[in-house]
Amino acid sequence: MTGDFTEETATEAVIDSFARTEDPRLREILASFTRHLHGFVRDVEPTQAEWEAAIGFLTAVGAMCDEKRQEFILLSDVMGVSMLVDAINNRTPAGTTESTVLGPFHVVTSPQRELGDDLADVSEGERVLVRGRVLSLDGEPIARAQVDVWHADADGFYDVQKDDTPDQDLRGLFTTDAEGRFWFRTVLPSHYPIPDDGPVGDLLRRTSRHPYRPAHIHLIAGAAGHRPITTHLFIEGSPYLDDDTVFGVKQSLIRPVTVEGDGKAIDFDVTLA
């Protein structure tokens, strides 16, 4: 570097400092990150105290993380970054099931379960039958597809958030039958607040945002020769379908709960590219 590091030369100086990065993708990412980060600082012109507050916030986000609590995913979610990355990476053909965020609670390997099993090992609440098929784009059923499912309980909590609940409750990994079908019983999940007792919750309160997500069941579906999909089944009529704090709702993923005899059911087919 020749000359002083000044407001005028700062950005190019830092980009130049990464010029010998061997991995071209990493070099490109660092150059872009430098440009945008410096652009942000030039735009905001933070005081020293504001910059220290920003570093304090990120430090608190990191300190909140452990193997069951992922505050950085929550931050990414409430900033809309998770959904933007998801959209960029899932420009799939029309007709395939739309994707949405993974979320921070897929931290436990789902137990293998048999078709028809009940996901609620210990959770109590109103029972529902969830059933669907995994299909290819031409409408053909996909046998032996994998469907990984997890969701919150009737009070809006995941197993990993509760000390008294085994970490496999309301989770299951299913294999579709010869007609591509999967079905299971479970309790109807509630809408819920994302964990808001950390710095991301502070951010939401400071900005008059609420922490809620509409009621949903998470799914990852995949099959040999097909592109796997991470998505949700959203429950029609749930509060916050129009105002999900992580921006995850897609209208095509909302399904009604139907009454069948003395029970309830939800139908949700998944189409893979």
Question: Nearest-CB residue to Fe ion?
Answer: 103
In 3D, which of 107, 125, 219 has the Cα closest to residue 174? 219
Does 103 participate in binding Fe ion (rule CB under 5 A)?
yes
Nearer Cβ to Fe ion, position 183 or 192? 192
Span interacting with Fe ion, options 4-12, 62-70, 99-107, 176-184, rule CB under 5 A = 99-107
* 104 touches Fe ion (CB under 5 A): no
User: What does each C-alpha distance from 195 to 94, 121, 199, 208 come to in angstroms?
Assistant: 34, 23, 10, 16
Q: Output the smallest distance, CB 249 to Fe ion, in A.
A: 12
Which residues, listed in sequence order, are joined to residue 192 by a DSSP beta bridge?
A: 213
CB of 54 to Fe ion, least distance (A): 28
Least distance in angstroms from the C-beta of 196 to Fe ion: 14
Asked if 195 is part of the footprint of Fe ion (rule: CB under 5 A), the reply reads no
Min dist CB 234 to Fe ion, Å, is: 10
Q: Is 248 in the site for Fe ion (CB under 5 A)?
A: no
180 forms part of the interface with Fe ion (CB under 5 A)? no
Site residues for Fe ion per CB under 5 A:
103
